[in-house]
Homo-oligomer: A and B are copies of this chain.
Amino acid sequence: MATPLLGQDRLDHAGLERLIEHILAGGVHGLFILGSTGEAPSLSCRLRCELIERTCEQVSGRVPVLVGITDASFGDAVAMAEHAADSGAAAVVHAGPYYFPIAQAELAATTANLAAALPLPLFLYNMPSHTKVNFDPDTVRRLLEVPNIVGVKDSSGQLVYFKKLLHVAAARPDFAVLIGPEELLAEAIFMGAHGGVTGGANLDPALYVSLYEAARAGELARARELSAGVLRISTTIYAAGKYWSGYLQGIKAALAAMGICEDILAEPFQPFGPAEKALIEKYVRELGWLQGVPLRA
């Protein structure tokens, strides 16, 4: 979930309410806040805590809320998890420490220590392009022995790696393997993945839910058709900017065009300028999202 903002350190309560209701209406099976799409590392600890509380309150048990606690500081991550537990979240998600270069043995040890200190079940979040480190399949194998580590989300985009994760995780049937890049949701499900975490579900949640269901049902033709819709978002909304941040700018600009929340981004990023905004508005119109996003059967 994106994080609606009114200013650098000001949460947009009304926007948050609209965004949550928009996403839940699409039929999602859970809500993951404070991930990369949620700009979590850019937000102050205070604002992150406020978001956790408000989101849990608004969702009010309709779906499980997963809370990203990724933080370079172990202590601050644990504190955030405690806040999540108090607020009623179902689980927490951590991408590993991301400042210091870290070896696999060290990653395994500190992640086990983290899990032991947490009041909630932990999902690993593999995001090597941002953290500079992969949770190697052998590291995940070792971490399977920690009972309250309950799954992994992989955003590497490397499906050979992902397949090896599935292979390793087969040893613990309760361990969930989720795919990050939404463009690969169908393929991941075909491989045996348990689900996906899809930033595009901020915009068109029903599309991703339908794709998930088609893939689960083995409906290849329908999955291919819905995947084309996902790629269309990916090659328009996410591709309007020049830099990596174009992904975040695109989502926020589209949410603004749909009337859900402002397009304000947390530093170090800025909203799109007028040209890109106009482009996003055009895309939103073409995608048929202006009059509300269609719910797919």
A235 within 8 A of B: yes
Asked if B220 contacts A100 (CB within 8 A), the reply is no
Asked if A102 contacts B160 (CB within 8 A), the reply is no
Question: Shortest CB–CB separation between residue A46 and chain B, in angstroms?
Answer: 8
Asked if B183 contacts A42 (CB within 8 A), the reply is no
Q: Which residues of B contact A130 (CB under 8 A)?
A: 99-101
In addition to A8-B74, A44-B79, A163-B183, 16 A-B residue pairs with Cβ atoms within 8 Å of each other are A9-B75, A41-B73, A42-B97, A43-B75, A47-B75, A72-B98, A101-B245, A102-B244, A103-B244, A110-B269, A159-B183, A159-B187, A164-B234, A187-B190, A190-B220, A218-B220
List residues of chain A with CB under 8 Å of any chain B CB.
Answer: 8-9, 36, 41-47, 72-76, 79, 96-103, 105-107, 109-110, 113-114, 129-132, 157-161, 163-164, 167, 181, 183-184, 186-187, 190-192, 218, 220-221, 223-224, 227, 231, 234-235, 242-245, 266-270
* Interface pairs (28), CB distance under 8 Å: A9-B75, A41-B72, A41-B73, A41-B97, A43-B75, A44-B79, A45-B76, A46-B75, A47-B75, A72-B98, A74-B266, A97-B268, A100-B130, A101-B243, A101-B244, A102-B268, A105-B243, A109-B268, A160-B181, A160-B183, A160-B234, A163-B183, A187-B191, A190-B220, A190-B223, A190-B224, A191-B224, A220-B220
